[in-house]
Amino acid sequence: MRVIVLGGGLLGVASAYYLQQLGHEVTVIDRHDSPAAKARGVASAPMRTPCDAPNVSIAHGACRSAIAHLRRRWRNLTHYFLGGAPRPTERLEHLVRLSVYSRATVSELRREAGVAPPPSSAGWMRIFTDADAFDAFARSAPRLHALGCAVELMSADEALREEPALHALRGSLAGAAFSREVALRDPSAFAASMIFMCRAAGVHFLMNHDVVKLHAREGRIDHVELANHDGERSTLRAQAYVMALGAGSVPQAYALGIDLPLRLVREYSVLLPVRDAEIAPRVMLHDRVGRLRIRRIETPQGERLRVWSSVRLTKDTAADSADEAAHFARMLARVEQLLPGVVDVSGAEFSCTLQSRSATGLPVIGRTPLRNLFLNTAPGAPDWVNACGAGKSIARIVSGLSPEVEFAFAKG
């Protein structure tokens, strides 16, 4: 069967690889010069200061009617109370299952490719300064362990021994959740390997093409309309289509009458030069109060801390340079509070990008009301941990096979 994957990010590349492994003829379409451009750090989106950040419109907010919005809210509430939608604790369990499955899939892929596993990491740590929040998380820990999530609960003293960089929180730290399994590693090398394996398997990449519109007829996608960077239009046909366009999936789906449960979020990211490597954090930190993730990385310019957070985009939060500057200022202030003296804020580099997240917090993977259109979008976490599990699962669904993991897949 000929399959077109719309979107050449890491989700699209993973989907294409597993589709090809199941015997399909696969073409990946993407607007960048090369596949997985963002994951490999070669996307044409330079770092910029807050005042240079462009205005970002809400692509679907202006056109979605209030009636459609209320209908979806009513449907979600009905499904929630009747047991048809994942409840909060179930959502976490679904994410853990997919994460564990994805990690196993990555390990299997590395063995097949003869690629050595990456060096062991210092791990990740979620820090809690709210005792009630820590206790609530602790109550869910046994269930997470049973699902295969290797997370360890730590007292404040244990957390400080594991990560001395948090010494400024002594006295206010309630506890931490720690794992040696890093949820976010640099995906560039892995993305490059996936692309090589895709090409070797026969996946065709059609780059520098935007998806203009999906044309439907008689309950199916008939063809996809494309435009290259010169504006020249063309069409392609296939027997099945996988939409992995991230935030770009929203307007495309809406045009087909599909109201995706996605939210657009603005991801704020800051790169900060490290003043003293001896006192910089070794583990990746998730600050629950500041809603920050902090990771130490190597760059051509030296060691940096990457700090990022996401804010849901609404009509009231359309891009405003003053608001963005204020948000970046709050991020820097929180970093200084958590890690005083570790970074040089005068050398900060800022960026702001648009991302998609599902309203439920779960990735959107599965079928749509159109018989030959499938979804693999909104990874459900600000990292690539679910890419292989999601890609392998959607490949099986497209092929008429049952997924290998229990998850809240979209049924169409």
CA dihedral 411, 25, 393, 367 (to 10 degrees): -10
pLDDT tens series, the chain, 412 aa: 999 999 998 899 999 999 999 999 999 999 999 888 777 666 654 444 433 333 333 344 444 444 544 555 555 544 444 445 555 568 878 888 898 898 889 888 878 776 666 655 678 899 999 999 999 989 988 887 887 777 899 999 999 999 999 999 999 999 999 987 654 455 777 788 889 999 999 999 999 999 999 999 999 999 999 999 999 999 999 999 999 998 788 889 989 999 887 777 888 999 999 998 899 999 999 998 889 999 998 888 889 999 999 887 765 555 566 788 899 999 999 999 999 999 999 999 999 887 777 777 788 999 999 999 999 987 655 457 788 999 999 999 999 999 999 999 999 7
56, amino acid identity: V
Could you tell me which residues are beta bridge partners of residue 2?
A: 25
pLDDT of residue 333: 95
Confirm if 404 and 100 have CB atoms less than 8 A apart. Answer: no
CA 235 to chain centre: 29
* pTM beyond cutoff 0.85: no
Instruction: Give the phi and the psi of residue 326 in degrees, each rounded to 5.
Output: -65, -40
CA–CA separation, 212 vs 225, rounded Å? 5
Please report where in the chains the tokens 């997240």 appear, as a residue.
357
Q: List the Cα angle 247/311/38 in 5-degree steps.
A: 45
Q: Residue 76 to residues 251, 338, 406: CA-CA distances in angstroms?
A: 20, 38, 21
pLDDT of residue 182: 55
Indicate the fold that domain 1-40+88-117+183-260+361-412 takes in CATH. FAD/NAD(P)-binding domain (3.50.50)
Confirm if 315 and 246 have CB atoms less than 8 A apart. Answer: no
pLDDT of residue 298: 83
pLDDT of residue 36: 83
- Identify the helix (H) or strand (E) that includes residue 287: strand 284-287
Instruction: Give the phi and the psi of residue 328 in degrees, each rounded to 5.
Output: -60, -40
CA–CA separation, 100 vs 90, rounded Å? 15
Confirm if 368 and 6 have CB atoms less than 8 A apart. Answer: no
pLDDT of residue 380: 53
What contacts 132, CB < 8 A, 6 or more positions away?
none
Neighbours of 127 (CB within 10 A): 26
User: Tokens representing 29?
Assistant: 């379409």
Environment class of 337 (CB within 10 Å of its CB; exposed 0-12, middle 13-18, buried 19+): middle
CA–CA separation, 341 vs 332, rounded Å? 12
**E strands in 118-261:** 124-128, 152-154, 175-179, 204-206, 209-217, 220-228, 233-236, 240-243
User: Tokens representing 162?
Assistant: 């594991």
Comparing CA positions, the residue from 263, 260, 291 lying closest to residue 376 is: 260
CA–CA separation, 401 vs 409, rounded Å? 13
